[in-house]
Structure 1
Amino acid sequence: MLVLTRHATTRAQQRGLPPLIMNWLDTYGARALDRGGAEILYFDNASRRNLERDVGSQAVDRLRPLLDAYTVVADDGTVITSGWRFKRVPRH
């Protein structure tokens, strides 16, 4: 169960990010650290394959445009913000 800040809830609503996608990010998403120490969750090729294996290729194909989402999670597990990726996630 994801815990969202008020800011994250507002941003998810403004950006049209469904709760299902945020839950999939939490379960299947790849993880990278950002410069501030928070964790970025996003779908890479491996996480998309794992998602497809568990929920089926038909569901993933229908929701493919929504898989360009990301969330930023604080150290305590709270979602800080979320949005849509337009470029690669930097990994250090």
Structure 2
Amino acid sequence: MALTKHAQNRMQQRGIPPLAVELLMAYGRIEYQNGSQLLYFDNRSFKRVCKKLDAARKNIEQLAKAYLVIGENGQVITTSHRTKQIKRK
């Protein structure tokens, strides 16, 4: 997955490791918002990640609120941590 320079900067500033991006791409729930995709962990997808990576569970729990915004061209635009609930359509 290609990352914009902005996304790379935000990952570093917000302490989001590349593993989080990979896990979100593989297991995250997708919501479509304003022409972009928002990938995040809901309870179900996060449980799947925990089951898959049981040994590393303690380390990945902090990533439960991470999310990605992916643009129309398929590049990750930005990454962050959720501070409020995502509105589903």
Q: TM-score, normalised by structure 2?
A: 0.91
What residue ranges of structure 1 are gaps of 5+ in the alignment? Answer: none
CA distance in 2, matches of 1:38, 1:65: 25
**Which residue of structure 2 lines up, in the alignment, with residue 78 of structure 1?**
75
**Which residue of structure 2 lines up, in the alignment, with residue 52 of structure 1?**
50
| Alpha carbons 1:28, 1:47 under 8 Å: kept | yes
How many residues align structurally?
89
Q: TM-score, normalised by structure 1?
A: 0.88
Q: Any runs of at least 4 consecutive aligned residues in structure 1 with deviations exceeding 6 A, and if so which?
A: none
CA distance in 2, matches of 1:71, 1:81: 6
Query: Once the two structures are aligned, what percentage of the paired residues are identical?
Result: 38
What residue ranges of structure 2 are gaps of 5+ in the alignment? Answer: none
Q: 1:87 aligns with which of 79, 84, 89?
A: 84
CA RMSD after TM alignment: 1.2
